[in-house]
Structure 1
Amino acid sequence: MSKRSYGQYCGLARSLDVLGGRWSLLVVRELLDGPARYNRLLEGLPGIATNLLAERLRELEQAGVVQRSLDADSNSVVYSLTPWGSELRGVVTGLVKWSTPLMISGPQSDTFQTHWLSVALSSLLDNKHTDEPRAVGLEVDGTLITVRTDKSGISIALDDDAQPETVLRAEPMVVLGLASGMLTAEQAIAAGEFRGNKKDLADALSPG
């Protein structure tokens, strides 16, 4: 039994043995969008010490959650989730949905990075389907997030070259409020800047 183990023969306890350390699930969040180099992980986790990030990556790798490989283009080390580690998307989705009452107060003094919205929107809209394809842009802090929905589900892209005709420019809490169902499309539009088709926004961004 490891020093940090709860020492309990329980699935939750053993999961927390692996993921209960500070920053561990946030490392997973950063890797849900795909492989990343160490420096990108460091940038996406403001406040973490470089030695602590290295320790967390080592622990997650030893547990079989994270793997290292060489990037063919840059010949540098990249980190990615293993197939088993990728199954944590469902865990993250559940926690993001559960967090809605905690997010109502807004960011206050907390830091924010726009790419975190990719995981948040994927989680809040995980059951979203539309009969007709929809493409909506969300501009937050100068970054465009494109949300596409169709009969097969939802996809999220950052800084997509093809800018949608329907775009909402708003603060992150407005975008999250719309996707969580706390705000209507009309309320989100009133709180930001909008161009395009209101029905597309409502169809694509309201919870499924």
Structure 2
Amino acid sequence: MGADEDKSAIKRSYGQYCGLARALDVVGNRWSLLIVRELLGGPARYGKLQAGLPGISTNLLAERLRELEQSGVVQRQLDTDSNAIAYTLTDWGRELRGAVTELVNWSTPLMISGPRDDNFQPRWLVVALESLMEGKRTEVPATIGFEVDGTLLTVRVDEMGTRVALEVDGQPETVLRAEPMVVLGLASGMLTTEQAIASGEFRGERLDLTAVFGP
């Protein structure tokens, strides 16, 4: 093994007795939090993780998974459907949801410009919508579908809070088909319901949208 390989094998640390520094020692490497994002939706096999992380090399994904596993953030389990290995967050790893939520909310001004040339996968909206709509509740349950790039996300809001699902059986009656930046703008409060409807294709009950997002 050469000198450069020796250096790359050494786990880097900020060397600071500070909670933020030590947290970044664990999840501050490039791709680490995006792996967490993928696993917040549930266990995933290696191929699914790689498909959800366009641009990451096979070797780097394996390295990041190994680091997160060694740190106690990720663990392996048997996928009973395929009898293959899947990766999942540990209980401690799932506690990163709060940090991911705060970062998604903080990122709102950065999303105004739209995707431009960036990769985009509709299922990334699951974590984004859960984060941006955290705390939203309605006395009367409302179910809304957001159709983005041919993928349907179903958002149900009631007195228990907000739940987002991907490609569930059956379509909700209220559906807004729109670009991702429109859906994010509505969820973040930067677009009104009327502006979002005007920017996409809408069918169903406007009352469902206004009950959740206002007029």
Alignment TM-score, normalising by the size of structure 1: 0.96
Equivalent position amino acid for 1:96 in 2: V
Aligned residue for 2:7?
Answer: none
- Tell me which stretches of 4 or more aligned residues in structure 1 moved more than 3 Å: none
Q: Which protein has the larger Cα radius of gyration, Structure 1 or Structure 2?
A: 2
Aligned residue for 1:95?
Answer: 103
SS in 1 for 2:156: strand
Question: Which of 38, 53, 62 is residue 54 of structure 1 equivalent to?
Answer: 62
SS in 1 for 2:153: strand
Distance in 2 separating the partners of 1:3 and 1:56:
11
Kindly indicate whether residue 10 of structure 2 is the aligned counterpart of residue 16 of structure 1.
Answer: no
Kindly indicate whether residue 186 of structure 2 is the aligned counterpart of residue 178 of structure 1.
Answer: yes
Shift of 1:202: 2.5
2:192–2:213 CA contact under 8 A, matched in 1: no
Distance in 1 separating the partners of 2:210 and 2:65:
39
Distance in 2 separating the partners of 1:54 and 1:36:
14
Matches within 5 A, 1:13-92: 13-92=21-100
SS in 1 for 2:146: strand
1:148–1:204 CA contact under 8 A, matched in 2: no
Alignment TM-score, normalising by the size of structure 2: 0.93
Question: Which of 188, 196, 201 is residue 196 of structure 2 equivalent to?
Answer: 188
Aligned residue for 1:135?
Answer: 143
Q: Which runs of 5+ in 1 are unaligned?
A: none
Equivalent position amino acid for 1:200 in 2: D
2:178–2:199 CA contact under 8 A, matched in 1: yes
The count of aligned residue pairs is: 205
Shift of 1:201: 1.3
Equivalent position amino acid for 2:14 in 1: Y
Q: Which runs of 5+ in 2 are unaligned?
A: 1-9
Shift of 1:74: 1.1
Aligned residue for 2:5?
Answer: none
The percentage of counterpart residues that share the same residue type is: 71
1:136–1:204 CA contact under 8 A, matched in 2: no
Shift of 1:203: 2.3
Equivalent position amino acid for 1:12 in 2: L
For residues 146-176 of structure 1, give each alpha carbon's deviation from its aligned partner in whole angstroms, at most 9, with x where no partner exists: 0001100111111111211100000000000
